[in-house]
């Protein structure tokens, strides 16, 4: 049987390589664990950042802190969101052009600087408010860039048979960050002086980021990215180093030549991205946009108004509300960690459709119980935990979908586009639900809102049934042929 082991020149300008197949055949090793821990921290940081920012809003309007107006405090979240969108689009483009490793070092540094500078806001005059908004924008840009660069790097480095569960678990760790942020807020805001506590809250993320910077420095560039950008020799050296770490120095068995892919590296521009999204893979674009928009709408609607529901309808003291968030966050975290593997075994389509439709139906049931006055603060939180146990896994799978169903050359940009679209539509949720909650006098208004949220998730599940891609256990190149691939050179699935 003919075999190929290295990246080699097959003809003028064409490179034939087994690197993708060699990455996918690796067993799980400490190298992969270190990779996931170093890169996956992006979601922990975002969850921590959002939770801290939400927790200190009341504190920043006090005269003994910054004395900001409620409008200015509320605008902080909007500025952070805008920063995420801009960061995702800018750094997503740069990640595809300059490499995953270069960008995941830069984006973490951008976040670290932005969030760290937030803690140095010293006054509440116009100049200081502008300064505060600028730091929140910078922190958001760093996290937005992380989403694009990190999802790409993880997908390209993790073996195909583990890709689904790892990606879903990593995205789910957003809620680990939310738990850390909640505990930090309870400690800093209730034990320390107000002028000190909120600053230390914003320094939690940078403190973690400093540690992660040193771990990320040891990670290699994605061999897949190097190969697709004509750097075959460097890709081969990197691949050999990865194999040496993963195999503990034991020799690897040669792979059959039908596992190889032939590519002709060429520059890729915005026109290629548009052609991929709107012509070549328009069905996948509809799928990605629908999954991302629906989960973002539901999550933002529930997460950013849960305190209002607890205080207006159940009489919970605002100071005690974060305790309920711990249970809500735990349900969101457990879903991806426990059922994520089923997305690799049962498959993408049935699991994504099932979690979306199932969570939508459960939300409708809980809405009825809420409208009938059959819930209290605890049972309402339990209901949310059950609903989002499934919804969280589905939402994480939405990020998995947009990160694996488009060609490598535009992968980070595709992630950024759908992330930006989702964030824009997701911003509608809190406004709508806040209006429906009102003074808390009429629960039937929110009942309608919950039914809308449930219907939105069901729509996402139906679109998955129609357009879903069975990508489980398949090489990325078999899921989405690279733009630089020579016609007909498709690697076989393991």
Residues linked to residue 15 through DSSP beta bridges, in sequence order: 9, 263
CB 335 within 8 A of CB 172: yes
What does the alpha-carbon distance between residue 36 and residue 361 come to, in Å, rounded to a whole number?
33
What does the alpha-carbon distance between residue 337 and residue 328 come to, in Å, rounded to a whole number?
15
Secondary-structure class of domain 17-247 per CATH: mainly alpha
For helices 30-55 and 160-172, the axis angle rounded to 10 degrees is: 20
pLDDT band at 252 (very low <50, low <70, confident <90, very high): low
Provide the Cα torsion 319, 321, 324, 329; round to 10°: -110
Name 270's Cβ contacts closer than 8 Å, sequence gap at least 6. Answer: none
CB 468 within 8 A of CB 400: no
Residue 311: what pLDDT? 84
- Of 134, 90, 142, residue with least CA distance to 112: 142
What does the alpha-carbon distance between residue 464 and residue 367 come to, in Å, rounded to a whole number?
24
What does the alpha-carbon distance between residue 51 and residue 120 come to, in Å, rounded to a whole number?
19
Residue 492, pLDDT above cutoff 60:
no
**3 state DSSP class of 53:** helix
Residue 184: what pLDDT? 86
What does the alpha-carbon distance between residue 357 and residue 352 come to, in Å, rounded to a whole number?
8
Residue 491, pLDDT above cutoff 60:
no
SS (H, E, C) 381-424: HHHHHHHHHHHHHHHHHHHHHHHHCCCHHHHHHHHHHHHHHHHH
Largest CA distance in the chain: 78
Strands 261-263, 8-11: pairing kind: unpaired
Look up the pTM and report it: 0.89
φ, ψ for residue 388 (rounded to 5)?
-85, -10
For helices 126-157 and 70-98, the axis angle rounded to 10 degrees is: 40
Residue 290, pLDDT above cutoff 60:
yes
Residue 337: what pLDDT? 95
pLDDT digits (tens, 9 = 90+) for 4-48: 445 555 556 788 899 999 999 998 988 899 999 999 888 999 888
pLDDT band at 49 (very low <50, low <70, confident <90, very high): confident
Q: How is residue 371 annotated by DSSP?
A: H
From 101-115, 377-391, 428-442, the region with the lowest mean pLDDT: 428-442
What does the alpha-carbon distance between residue 112 and residue 92 come to, in Å, rounded to a whole number?
18
List the Cα angle 290/52/76 in 5-degree steps. Answer: 70
Correct CATH for 267-484 of 3.50.50.60, 3.40.50.2000, 3.90.1260.10, 1.20.1250.20: 1.20.1250.20
Residue 116, pLDDT above cutoff 70:
yes
pLDDT digits (tens, 9 = 90+) for 446-463: 999 999 999 999 999 999
Residue 253, pLDDT above cutoff 80:
no
For helices 411-426 and 282-303, the axis angle rounded to 10 degrees is: 40
pLDDT digits (tens, 9 = 90+) for 407-435: 999 999 999 999 999 988 888 888 888 88
Measured in whole angstroms, the distance separating CA 233 from the mean position of its chain's CA atoms is 32
- Of 394, 351, 363, residue with least CA distance to 301: 363
Burial bucket for residue 189 (CB in 10 Å: 0-12, 13-18, 19+): buried
Of 61 and 184, more confident: 184
pLDDT digits (tens, 9 = 90+) for 65-94: 777 776 677 778 888 889 999 999 999 999
Residue 251: what pLDDT? 61
Residues of the chain with CATH 1.20.1250.20: 17-247, 267-484
Residue 277, pLDDT above cutoff 50:
yes
- Of 71, 53, 52, 70, residue with least CA distance to 61: 70
Residues linked to residue 11 through DSSP beta bridges, in sequence order: 14
**3 state DSSP class of 7:** coil
pLDDT digits (tens, 9 = 90+) for 373-390: 999 999 999 999 999 999
């Amino acid at each position: 049987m003919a075999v190929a082991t290295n990246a080699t020149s097959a003809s003028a300008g064409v490179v034939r390589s087994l690197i993708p197949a060699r990455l996918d055949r690796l067993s799980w090793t400490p190298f992969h664990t270190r990779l996931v821990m170093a890169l996956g921290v992006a979601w922990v940081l975002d969850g921590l950042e959002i939770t801290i920012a939400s927790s200190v809003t009341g504190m920043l309007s006090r005269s003994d802190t910054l004395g900001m107006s409620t409008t200015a405090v509320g605008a902080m979240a909007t500025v952070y969101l805008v920063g995420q969108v801009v960061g995702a689009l800018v750094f997503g483009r740069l990640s595809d052009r300059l490499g995953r490793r270069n960008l995941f070092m830069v984006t973490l540094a951008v976040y670290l600087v932005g969030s760290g500078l937030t803690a140095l806001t010293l006054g509440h005059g116009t100049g200081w408010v502008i300064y505060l908004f600028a730091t929140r924008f910078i922190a958001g840009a760093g996290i937005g860039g992380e989403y694009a660069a990190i999802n790409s790097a993880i997908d390209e480095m993790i073996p195909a048979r583990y890709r689904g569960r790892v990606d879903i678990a990593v995205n789910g760790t957003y809620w680990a960050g939310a738990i850390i942020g909640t505990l930090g807020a309870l400690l800093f805001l209730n034990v320390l002086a107000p002028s000190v506590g909120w600053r230390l809250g914003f320094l939690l993320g940078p403190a973690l980021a400093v540690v992660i910077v040193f771990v990320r420095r040891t990670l290699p560039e994605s061999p897949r990215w190097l190969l697709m950008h004509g750097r075959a020799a460097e890709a081969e050296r990197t691949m050999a180093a990865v194999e040496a770490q993963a195999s503990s120095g034991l020799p690897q068995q040669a792979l059959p030549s039908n596992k190889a892919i032939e590519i002709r590296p060429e520059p890729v521009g915005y026109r290629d991205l548009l052609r991929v999204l709107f012509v070549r893979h328009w069905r996948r674009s509809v799928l990605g946009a629908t999954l991302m928009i629906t989960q973002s709408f539901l999550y933002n609607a529930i997460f950013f108004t849960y305190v209002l529901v607890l205080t207006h309808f159940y009489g919970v003291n605002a100071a005690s509300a974060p305790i309920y968030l711990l249970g809500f966050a735990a349900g969101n975290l457990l879903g991806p960690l426990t059922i994520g593997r089923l997305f690799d075994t049962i498959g993408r389509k049935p699991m994504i459709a099932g979690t979306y439709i199932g969570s939508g139906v459960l939300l409708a049931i809980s809405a009825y119980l809420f409208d009938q006055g059959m819930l209290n603060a605890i049972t309402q939180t339990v209901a949310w935990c059950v609903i989002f146990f499934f919804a969280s896994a589905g939402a994480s799978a939405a990020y998995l979908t947009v990160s694996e169903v488009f060609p490598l050359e535009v992968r980070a940009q595709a992630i950024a586009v759908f992330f930006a679209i989702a964030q824009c539509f997701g911003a509608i949720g809190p406004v709508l639900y806040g209006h429906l909650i009102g003074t808390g006098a009429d629960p039937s208004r929110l009942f309608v809102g919950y039914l809308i949220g449930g219907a939105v998730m069901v729509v996402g599940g139906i679109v998955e049934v129609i357009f879903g891609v069975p990508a489980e256990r398949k090489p990325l190149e078999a899921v989405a042929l690279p733009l630089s691939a020579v016609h007909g050179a498709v690697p076989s699935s393991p």
